[in-house]
Amino acid sequence: ARRRRAVPPSCPAARVSQVTVRDALNQALDEELERDERVFLLGEEVAQYDGAYKISRGLWKKYGDKRVIDTPISEMGFTGIAVGAAMAGLRPVCEFMTFNFSMQAIDQVINSAAKTCYMSAGSIAVPIVFRGPNGASAGVAAQHSQCFAAWYGHCPGLKVVSPWSSEDAKGLLKASIRDDNPVVMLENELLYGVPFEMSEQAQSKDFIVPIGKAKIERQGTHITLVSHSRPVGHCLEAAAVLAKEGVECEVINLRTIRPMDIEAVEASVVKTNHLVTVEGGWPQFGVGAEICARIMEGSAFNYLDAPAVRVTGADVPMPYAKILEDNCIPQVKDIIFAVKKTLNI
């Protein structure tokens, strides 16, 4: 539920609401189901149960069985149905209860959805959104805690978005539903209940966040921190701590993994001369590895005063024990350590 801040009506902040990521996603789905009758939602427990994470709360009662569809526990089956519906002119939103279970349907996502437009010489569009929680949650161990940003970001034919804030979540989901390409939307379960400020504009029915454009969440001059999803918040926390020590970090929220806004990263590196990437996924062939390679291959490399550094998840399947889990996920202290190492302070 939204909570209005206690400020005078004349103050600009009076038009800003606190909205959770869950409610922002729900708003986006509601508005797009209402706007376009071709849009429908399907997945496990999305209808009568209001969604495993309550993202689709109230939508089945409002739009009925044909627009919000409960499926059997068969990812390969319902994903194939969704891809076929998209090829036939509908605009499905296909929810995975976790992206770890999208492995059951990766043939449909890659071989059916991602490649069809190219293989049909552009004559068949596949306007579909694959969405759900991605990356580590809390206490759910290896088979529920993997980040697939690098996996899906690797594949031509897909667009891949990864929201952090409520504004990201709503704007990117609406943009993804309206896009004629298959879009993978990697959310984070631990962010669903987190409230963020949303402006009146961001809550309007016309609001979208363009796919492929990063956002500078904090301006800085000494070092660039690039991240996506939940670690963006960790970067901002680290930046606040470092600011007290005189280090000004520029924090970039990628928002989109593919196509990647490398120009925004390059412009920041030219200004700060230092780069640290932060992600929850594994290090090998990761998002940070791609950013570092692109910077090295481009003109911004000449502006680096120190090697780029990656902060990533540990290179192991996620343990169940909380203390081990905490040591496998990048923490604020890890980002601060990487920044000081890069700046040699």
What amino acid positions are annotated as catalytic residues? 75, 144
Dist CA 51 CA 58 (whole Å)? 9
The answer to whether the beta carbons of residues 303 and 270 sit under 8 Å apart is: yes
| The total number of residues written for the chain in this structure | 345
The answer to whether the beta carbons of residues 55 and 193 sit under 8 Å apart is: no
Which of 149-188 are b and which e, b meaning 16 or more Cβ less than 10 Å from the residue's Cβ?
A: bbbbbebebbbbbbbbbbbbbbbbbbbbbbbebbbbbbbb
- Which region, left, alpha or beta, applies to residue 163 given φ > 0 means left and ψ of -120 to 50 means alpha? beta
CB-facing half-sphere around the CA of 230: CA atoms within 13 A:
24
Dist CA 337 CA 220 (whole Å)? 18
Which CA distances in Å does 319 have to 144, 295, 313, 315?
A: 11, 33, 12, 11
Which regions of the chain does DSSP assign to beta strands (E)?
A: 3-4, 17-20, 39-43, 68-70, 91-95, 129-133, 159-161, 183-187, 195-198, 215-218, 223-227, 249-253, 256-258, 275-278, 309-311
Backbone angles phi, psi at 140, to 5 degrees: -120, 5
Dist CA 345 CA 337 (whole Å)? 10
Q: Which two tokens stand for residue 108?
A: 């449909």
